[in-house]
Structure 1
Amino acid sequence: MSVNYFTPVSGLLGGSLIGLSAATLLIFNGDILGASGLMSSFVVAPKKTLTDPSQHWKLAFVAAFSLTTRMLIGRDELSDESQGYYFGLPMVSPLGFIAGGFLVGFGTKLGNGCTTGHGICGLARRSTRSLAAVLSFMAAGVLSATACSPTCPFYPYFRESLETIAGHKPTVSNKAIGTAIAALASALTLPGLLRRTPKNLDAKESDEIIQVNNKRKVIPAIVSGAIFSLGLKISGMTVSSKINGFLNVKGIKNGSWDPTLACVMGGGLIVSFVSYQWVKGFNIVKNDKALECPLSQKSSGGNFNIPTNSVIDSKLLIGEVMFGLGWGIAGLCPGPAMFLACAGNQNVLFGWLPSFFIGSLLAETIKLL
């Protein structure tokens, strides 16, 4: 292990912020932070996501996330050196981003989750299904990243040399696309924020209570989205070479292994676990004040939308293995990819992201058969 790569303090801090983002959604809104599900919803069920008031919190989350990302990105943030390429680690090629995005999109939709949904949220509530998912995608990710070495026949297609990408930097137009994503998400969120909240509700007025609860989800989602972006930035998980540095276990022998990802996952898992101790039915620590209703919701209409499926089936395992393979190839899972798309990274905008959406749509079609 080399101290040049390992950043435990920023990893723990960033991971804890990611866990806090998940905890905010859980405690206040009763929702789960699943980056893959949130992203795929915009192509798998776009009409529902954009028009259903119960989904407006997703727009608010994306708006806050993207605006925060734009504020965190410096002028040279996406240069080759800032992405960690100067370490001399293997770099992902354009084809690698395309292949990785497709596998991640297909796998996360088929397996219903990724590092946030299953890893940070699922393990925190002691889900055996999520444990099986995490073990599957971790094993596949390690296999994929480790096997993709100079002796692998796919190496020339999925990796590039330092000489090939030397001097490449995102253009102004790429950054403008990231800004446009932030502006569009913010514009779509405004109607929900400006809609008048009914006053003096009677408990029987269920429709109006639902309207109130939907609107009350917006502010916590904004806070959660901003924290999530900050956590990804601080943790370093937006640098694909750091992910590859963890998953490629050959680095243990040559001194390039980077265990920062373990610190990120550990920090996020601890904070998320603590938040579940405040949710009745999911707490293992006795807590007389455990919540039956999320804090931002009216008790007569608010519920915790926590998955209870415990089935470990072929779709889960195959999906998570495919996600792991794509994760190992491109060094990106959905959360960091969202960050880089909003930042204007051309490989994500024009390679990883379109492939992710195609993979998600294909998996959704297969699930419906």
Structure 2
Amino acid sequence: MSVNHFTPTTGLIGGSLIGLSAATLLLFNGDILGASGLMSSFVVTPKKTLTDPSQHWKLAFLAAFCLTSINLNALKDESQGGYYPGLPIVTPLGFIVGGFLVGFGTKLGNGCTTGHGICGLARRSPRSLAAVLTFMSTGILAATSCSTTCPMYPYFRDSSTQRPAVVVGGVGTAIAQLASVLALSGLIRWTPKIQDIQKSKKVIPAMASAALFSLGLKVSGMTVSSKIYGFLNVKGMRDGSWDPTLACVMGGGLLVSFLSYQWVKGFNIVKNSKALECPITQKSSGHFNVPSNKVIDAKLLIGEAMFGLGWGIAGLCPGPAMFLACHGYRDVLFRWWPSFFIGTLIAEHVTFNGTITRWLNLNAASRM
């Protein structure tokens, strides 16, 4: 059956809002919009995230994102449980495997669709370009392989497309509200001292960025997993079910993000005296926290390849997963996110380069 849910207009508008979210965080706070990095910081470096004044913007971002996502329930949504009717849905095992691979991969590769895609490409980073090409390739491979002709299909995709969405709306909303309250309490509990007032100015821009990010995800349709699967599953080109909306979202977000970098000294193509040397809210005491690593190594490529596989299997990356968790989708709350955090923690404690080096040395020694 041919199913086409291509929505170019809302895709461009929503993508532009996501780009505006990244621009707000960059120009006002000097920080990068990276959903995977933001969420992993709560389990990898929880003490620093909660007590370091320079990190408090993350609490504000989480609180505003949760509250905005809850209130966006009022917008019309033709999807059911994150899926359009008539398209395959992800199995419980698919959510577990997908979440783990995304968590492990984004930690190893240091970024996902927002960090590398919207922000990295906008500043013309070769490292981010390599990352995007890698996770797009493996994402397409995974989604296309999870079609009905693949032996793995029964494990990751459910052809019972009429199965109703399983939502624990009340519980999900309560969890989202609790996350917001805890985040806001953290801000109140760890109110910065006089010398940290400058850092506290990041709070309002972070909340504005979070609201724009949540709205952009909703408007663009990226909270509908079937739209991600519809883009990555290139077999859909044969029957007219391929959905290129994601390309519109990335294009809109990338354009707005790129324009914002033209106001950041060192990243603007046309050099001018109006370029910012420090974020708007930080004056002369702040700086732009833009990644400077230019190395394209095995750690980056393998990490992003794993992220792409997980993305293609479950149809979720951290941003949309945050949104769906706020709406109480059981599989996202109790399968995808726990697996994501486990994958992140494991990747944090894997000495990847050292392990590979020792493996190569052992193999070289065995041949002598």
Structure 2 length as normaliser, TM-score?
0.91
Contact 1:63 1:189 in 2 (8 A): no
Check 1:353–1:334 CA distance in 2 against 1; reply closer, same or farther (3 A cut).
same
Matched residue pairs, number?
353
2:308 counterpart (307, 324, 329)? 324
**2:348 maps to which residue?**
364
Alignment partner, residue 294 of structure 1: 279
1:89 is matched with 87
Distance 1:36 1:166 in 2: 29
Kindly report which structure 2 residues correspond to 1:227-306, keeping only aligned pairs within 5 A, or say none: 227-299=212-284, 301-306=285-290
* 1:153–1:4 Cα change, 3 Å: closer
Q: Which residue of 2 aligns with 1:205?
A: none
User: Letter of the aligned partner of 1:344 in structure 2?
Assistant: G
CA offset at residue 288 of structure 1? Answer: 2.0
Whether the aligned pair in 2 keeps the contact of 1:129 and 1:312 (CA below 8 Å) is: yes
Displacement of 1:265: 0.3
**21-30 or 183-192: bigger deviation:** 183-192
The answer as to whether partners of 1:80 and 1:167 remain within 8 angstroms in 2 is no
The worse-fitting range, judged by mean Cα deviation, of 284-293 and 345-354 is 284-293
**Equivalent residue number for residue 68 of structure 2:** 68
Q: Which residues in structure 2 correspond to 1:219-234 (within 5 Å)? A: 219-234=204-219
Distance, in Å, in 2 between the alignment partners of 1:72 and 1:127 is: 34
> Match of 2:45?
45
Residue 81 of structure 1: CA displacement? 2.8
Taking structure 1 as reference, are residues 294 and 315 closer, same or farther at Cα in structure 2, changes over 3 Å only? same
In structure 1, stretches of 5+ residues that fail to align are 199-207
**Residues 275-329 of structure 1: per-residue CA shift (max 9 Å, x gap):** 0000000000233200001100030x20111011100000000000000000000
Distance apart, 1:344 and its partner CA: 1.4
Q: Determine the C-alpha separation between the residues in 2 that align with 1:186 and 1:178.
A: 12
Q: Percent identity?
A: 69
**AA in 1 matched with 2:167:** K
The residue number in structure 2 matching 1:310 is 294
Secondary structure in 1 aligned to 2:332?
Answer: helix
Which range moved further: 314-323 or 169-178? 169-178
Structure 2 partner of 1:201: none
Partner of 1:162: helix, strand, or coil? coil
State the one-letter code of the partner of 2:106: T
Which residue is equivalent to 1:218? Answer: 203
Provide the secondary structure at the position in 1 that maps to 2:293: coil
2:147 alignment partner, SS class: coil
Query: Which residue identity is paired with 2:218?
Result: K
Q: Distance in 2 between matches of 1:161 and 1:38?
A: 34
In the superposition, the TM-score normalised over structure 1's length comes to 0.91
Displacement after TM superposition at 1:76 (Å): 9.0
Q: Structure 2 unaligned runs (5+)?
A: 355-368
CA contact (8 A) 1:15 1:232 kept: yes
